Chain A
């Protein structure tokens, strides 16, 4: 496929890349930009390990082509926090011990971020509904729910980073 120039914003930085637009966004992020926090797991959009934020919506980067992101604003797990300070979601995941192997964690956090962007005060039921399609094999679910609740509280309190 012929290469194209694609412009977008990646973690707050204006970015341009000349690339085959049919390549999978997930692999472009991992391979071309070295953003390996976004994980490959099922390759078909079923598990959410590759979740990133595009224009304030949580999306599955394994199910998108890089050509589709022209003009978009993209945030990956690496762009969620400032250099030193953790984002309230990251902090809550640490403090609630809401992870084990940590492989699904970036996708969980990014999906939760997308959820909170659209619903800053989700109920427990809304969190469950919003996270339902993100898979965790280690069984950290109950703590992930608590972490998202805690982060939502903190972000609502004006401590949004």
Chain B
């Protein structure tokens, strides 16, 4: 596929596409929309990408149809488990009217695919697919025109079935897409862009399909970056400092260099040992003696919350309505709470990996990167190269969750390969993965809230410190409410190491705090927590989602703590309305929590692949148990103490509820919303509330470890 370099500039012209885009805005329900982010993904938009490029408006960039009818669908999106490799073909097959089997995905290759900022924010379906579907619709319309000329009948007299255009009245007269395109770029465009299909016209969209890459993956044949090998390739092991705040002062690698086959390369702070065998490179790395500047920062995972509350910061008012003093006056009871959340690691099972290969002045980098084009930008900037001289390919990713938005390994591989003048594989060890991760930030949330005699929330003053604003605004109908976001002062980093976007950034912390507080209010009001939420909601979508949740769970109202161990939480994320209810057993002697069953309910608009959406909900429920119950990064200053899975506890098989049921509300006539992230936001709150319902102990800090639960049990009046 030829790439047009002119398409890279930022769009300034008001062309016909703008109209289309406004249509998309309408479809999306009027949210603020730039093609690579919505209003809530401000953390992502603040990422230091070199430049933003425009998504291609030429449908040829997305599609190529071979003479045999194979449709190649090109996208800068990558596959890391969330399933676009299955759901994108469903959509393109419907727009083009071709057989699903004929659609082949070409993903995450900066040379073959049109620009895309990255795969994150649950944006592949709710945002990117609009563009891809529009490309399909235009291609179909052009092909119909071409067929009409060839078959010498008006377009209106033609029909399409499985990539073959025929005359409706005389189906024997026909021509296939492949015969029309012959695998060539189509040089015709529609002046008036045709509409995409609506839900009454879908065939594949809405069908529940298994992962199309399943067979490849169960055979061990799916190719991840670390599985690649080039002639002459060496493994590089990078010397890491003991702390993010230490600098390399002196280094002695004379012993390491004596090992047979070892090469050492150095470029300022970057020092790496190379060997064709990873074991040998590792051995040599261990022989290096290095001296570092000290890290005197006096903060650790215990003192971090006080540290954050006192850190230099900027305050931002997210929303305000009514008057907090009025709210206070009409409140029967005022409750103030402070919630804490520690640092959480992404921990994909595939650590960050990259392979770089220079050929003259050009470089190709294969990397486990959620943003191949972002890495391309960064490499081009690092080496002062033209974008066309940098090719980045993201093969299958072994999980990302936001952690592979950041791709230092790609830059390191390119730098080392340039120094060594041979292909270089940088595959992080688990210890490096924990050290180099951009953690979900530790955060504090303070809430002051009040309820009236009738059990109505009259006052809501929500202040989050360093969590991020996503999901911080109240979803409840409160007359006097204020939401404040405290964030880093520009140029004054508050965290001792990098932090970043972790599956539904900000929202996990904020929803934990909000939904815990709402349960506390329900208890004070003496009202069942589900009923209390319904009483205080005006949002019809949220009400419908909660009603469907309670029905599926077969929930009987009871004022907490009921001893049953049932808790719920709800919220919105990535355009989706979501609620989770979970039943747990709490061992009062050990503080151990055993989930029994869970239900997830969501309104996600059009659901392209119900099977994939259910999988994502189950994924969120399961993964979310980790941040809620056990995952906590230990550190001292810039020294990340947590180094492997023995001390960083991911959810295990024994934790998983016996059943996880998912209800997806039928909204096939509406615009699609996010599916990869939403349900995970509920897990902290749902588990906190279930623990409270089981034993009456309220835990204000995540992760809610057995120790903290025991402490809360002991602290009860």
Contacts and interface: CB of A to CB of B under 8 A. Distances in A.
Contacts of A102: 81, 213-214, 216-218, 222, 396, 398
Given A141-B622, A142-B656, A43 B430 contact: yes
A128 interface: yes
B612 to A, nearest CB: 9
Given A39-B398, A139-B622, A142-B657, A100 B227 contact: no
B654 A39 contact: no
Interface string A90-121: 11011101011111111001000000000000
B653 A141 contact: yes
Band of interface residues on A: 35 or more
- Looking at B81, B348, B429, B644, which has the most chain A CB atoms within 10 Å of its CB? B81
A107 B649 CA distance: 19
Interface string A29-54: 01100111111111110110100000
A138 B346 CA distance: 11
Contacts of B213: 102
A105 B217 contact: yes
A132 interface: yes
B349 A39 contact: yes
Given A23-B277, A24-B279, A145-B653, A36 B215 contact: no
A130 to B, nearest CB: 9
Given A131-B653, A135-B645, A142-B618, A100 B82 contact: yes
Contacts of B622: 139-142
Contacts of A44: 430, 644-646
A38 to B, nearest CB: 7
Contacts of A91: 218
B220 A101 contact: no
A105 B653 contact: no
Interface in A53-98: 76-78, 81, 86, 89-91, 93-95, 97
Interface in B418-444: 427, 429-430
Contacts of A129: 654
Interface in A126-160: 127-129, 131-145
Contacts of B6: none
Nearest to A106: B220
B211 A97 contact: yes
Contacts of A144: 653
Contact of A137 (B210, B216, B227, B623): B623
Nearest to B224: A103
B210 A139 contact: no
A44 B351 CA distance: 14
Contact of B645 (A23, A46, A101): A46
B619 A140 contact: yes
A138 B619 contact: yes
Given A100-B81, A103-B224, A46 B654 contact: no
Interface in A15-31: 22-24, 27, 30-31
B371 interface: no
Interface string B645-659: 110001111101101
Band of interface residues on B: 35 or more
A22 B277 CA distance: 12
A31 B281 CA distance: 14
Nearest to B623: A139
A76 B219 CA distance: 10
A101 B396 contact: yes
Contacts of B217: 99, 102, 105
A161 to B, nearest CB: 13
B159 interface: no
Contact of B220 (A78, A135, A139): A78
A71 B295 CA distance: 51
B56 interface: no
Contact of B653 (A93, A101, A106, A128): A128
B218 A101 contact: no
B83 interface: yes
A4 to B, nearest CB: 15
B620 A139 contact: yes
A143 to B, nearest CB: 7
B645 A132 contact: no
B350 interface: yes
B253 to A, nearest CB: 21
B401 A137 contact: yes
Contact of B351 (A31, A41, A90): A41
B220 A76 contact: yes
A74 B213 CA distance: 26
A31 B398 contact: no
A42 B657 CA distance: 26
Contacts of B211: 94, 97, 99-100
Contact of A94 (B214, B278, B427, B654): B214
A94 B218 contact: yes
Contacts of A47: 349, 645
B148 interface: no
Contact of B430 (A38, A42, A105, A145): A42
B611 interface: yes
- Looking at A38, A78, A94, A106, which has the most chain B CB atoms within 10 Å of its CB? A94
A40 B227 CA distance: 10
Contacts of B623: 137-139
A138 B81 contact: yes
Interface of A: 22-24, 27, 30-31, 34-44, 46-47, 49, 76-78, 81, 86, 89-91, 93-95, 97, 99-106, 109, 127-129, 131-145
21 contacts: A31-B278, A34-B229, A37-B221, A39-B224, A39-B226, A40-B226, A41-B351, A47-B349, A76-B220, A78-B220, A89-B218, A90-B215, A94-B214, A99-B218, A100-B211, A132-B654, A137-B401, A138-B619, A140-B619, A142-B618, A143-B618
Q: Which A-B residue pairs are the 3 nearest by beta carbons?
A: A37-B220, A103-B398, A139-B622
